Amino acid sequence: MLTDKRVVAVDQPLSTKKTKEPRYRITDPYLRFWLRFIGPHLDEVERGRGDLVLNRIRTSWPAWRGRAIEPVVREALSRLVAERLEVSAPVVGGYWTRNNSLEIDIVVADRAPVATRIHAIGSIKWHETGRFDHREQAVLERQREQIPGGSDDVRLIAASRSGCDASGVEAFGPAELIAAWSQG
């Protein structure tokens, strides 16, 4: 019922192997923020200790923002990668295992939920500072061999707020991701 009303989204890992490892996500980012930071601590706000809530938000904000931005980046990439990677009608998702021993932020495939071909994998780095570099590229290269359907032919993508210094990686920055929303 909540999925029918689009309050909750069910995300499935995207690869060439059928899997049942769903992740459930509140679709509205404002509601997600409220449920994470405000609702559980309303009693502190009512007691005049909103400063405690604010400190908790400041401490947890970078990690929370990283997770919150992932669906937005994936949607923008779904509008951009067809032309940039020269693939027709790509599907953009993510991949994870049950125990999260392998988690890939971006997977570009030919179809979902079970792909016949993986075109690219990538990482979303939305840090205040620090560019996507050779260390993150090395991680993606290892992950490319671990994802079902992965191979050396699978291209690498970086969606980074602060830029990309790695060679051999298709980089997407904030301006490109925002511009994707104005494309037909």
In a domain, 159, yes or no: yes
Q: Per the structure, how many domains does the chain have?
A: 1
pLDDT for the residue 86? 86
pLDDT band at 184 (very low <50, low <70, confident <90, very high): low
CA distance 40 to 26: 16
**Cβ atoms within 10 Å of 137's Cβ, excluding its own:** 19
- CA distance readout (Å), 39 to 35, 42, 76: 5, 5, 30
Query: pLDDT tens-digit profile of 41-94?
Result: 999 999 999 999 999 999 999 889 988 999 999 999 999 998 888 888 899 999
Assessment of whether the complete model's pTM goes beyond 0.85: yes
Domain that holds residue 138: 8-182
In a domain, 89, yes or no: yes
In a domain, 111, yes or no: yes
Task: Look at residues 161, 165, 166 and name the one whose alpha carbon lies nearest to residue 176.
Answer: 161
In a domain, 3, yes or no: no
Amino acid at 97: T
DSSP character for 114? B
In a domain, 1, yes or no: no
CA distance 178 to 159: 12
